[in-house]
């Protein structure tokens, strides 16, 4: 199996733009896919804004920023991904969207050695791999937000993933991207969300019941448990719609009541108050 040199990232939202950025900064040829030219340009602006923040903070030189941007190409046609060695799917956390994307990638990738990875945070990877014609080449690569800052990637092989693919992807994550990789079984939520989601849903239920205010819940966990961020602010950062999707996926798999999204979370998602990205969630973000 050859070295991974060409990378594709499908989806350039919050997660996809971060994955594309770190791959470009690692010296890789990166093709980014979106549903339309307009969405692709919006994704590019997101990457540029992140790189510019790195320059302003002194973590990145202007030369390195420009070099990273020169390695990025954007497209609205998945057919352009045919030559990629590795394609990372980072589309919306919805089963039908992900399976459609992976099925198409399985058809367009030319090399039989090409690897398809999903950045899913909760959907069992085998359920996604089953829609492709190369399930042995499909693996979970779960990054964390914000991708350029967070050091962890969960590696999630399925029952059919080739051992060579697992080793190759793990080496790529650790050596080329400079992240820490942990191995997770292919169960909804993997390692981190299996522990995190019940905690976050419990915080929503505590607020919903009137037991404590959002400010006091967050202050309690920050000052009492030395967490860097309270659970409700963390939900705002993740995005309430994403958190609901993850919780629903985990509840579907395990039928554990602690995983189920509380009514308050569902109502907030229906209202469009999704957290930082909309300026309002459990807290307000005037900026």
**Annotated catalytic residue within 21, 154, 168, 249:** 154
Residue 193 bears catalytic tag = yes
Residue 121 bears catalytic tag = yes
**Annotated catalytic residue within 50, 118, 119, 142:** 142
Residue 253 bears catalytic tag = no
**Annotated catalytic residue within 17, 162, 193, 245:** 193
Residue 145 bears catalytic tag = no
Contact 124, 157 (CB under 8 A): no
Contact 157, 165 (CB under 8 A): yes
Burial label for 10, CB within 10 Å (0-12, 13-18, 19+), is buried
**Annotated catalytic residue within 17, 119, 121, 162:** 121
Positions marked active-site:
121, 142, 154, 193
């Amino acid at each position: 199996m050859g070295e991974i040199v060409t990378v594709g990232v499908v989806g350039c939202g919050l997660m996809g733009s971060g994955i594309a950025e770190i791959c470009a900064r690692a010296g890789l040829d990166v093709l980014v896919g979106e549903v339309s030219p307009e969405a692709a340009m919006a994704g590019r602006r997101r990457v540029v804004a992140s790189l510019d923040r790195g320059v302003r903070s002194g973590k990145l030189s202007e030369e390195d920023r420009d070099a990273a941007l020169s390695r990025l190409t954007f497209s609205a046609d998945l057919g352009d991904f045919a030559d990629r060695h590795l394609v990372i799917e980072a589309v919306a956390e919805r089963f039908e969207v992900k399976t459609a994307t992976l099925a198409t990638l399985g058809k367009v990738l030319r090399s039989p050695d090409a690897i398809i990875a999903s950045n899913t945070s909760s959907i069992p990877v085998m359920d996604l791999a089953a829609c492709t014609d190369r399930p042995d080449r499909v693996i979970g690569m779960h990054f964390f937000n914000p991708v350029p800052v967070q050091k962890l990637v969960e590696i999630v092989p399925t029952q059919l993933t080739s051992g060579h693919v697992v080793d190759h992807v793990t080496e790529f994550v650790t050596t080329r991207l400079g992240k820490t990789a942990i191995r997770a079984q292919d169960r909804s939520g993997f390692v981190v969300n299996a522990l995190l989601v019940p905690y976050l849903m419990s915080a929503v239920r505590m607020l919903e019941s009137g037991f404590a205010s959002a400010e006091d819940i967050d202050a309690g966990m920050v000052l009492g448990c030395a967490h860097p961020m309270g659970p409700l602010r963390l939900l705002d950062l993740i995005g309430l719609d994403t958190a609901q999707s993850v919780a629903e996926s985990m509840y579907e798999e395990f039928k554990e009541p602690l995983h189920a999204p509380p009514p308050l979370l569902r109502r907030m998602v229906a209202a469009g108050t999704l957290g930082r990205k909309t300026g309002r969630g459990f807290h307000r973000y005037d900026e």
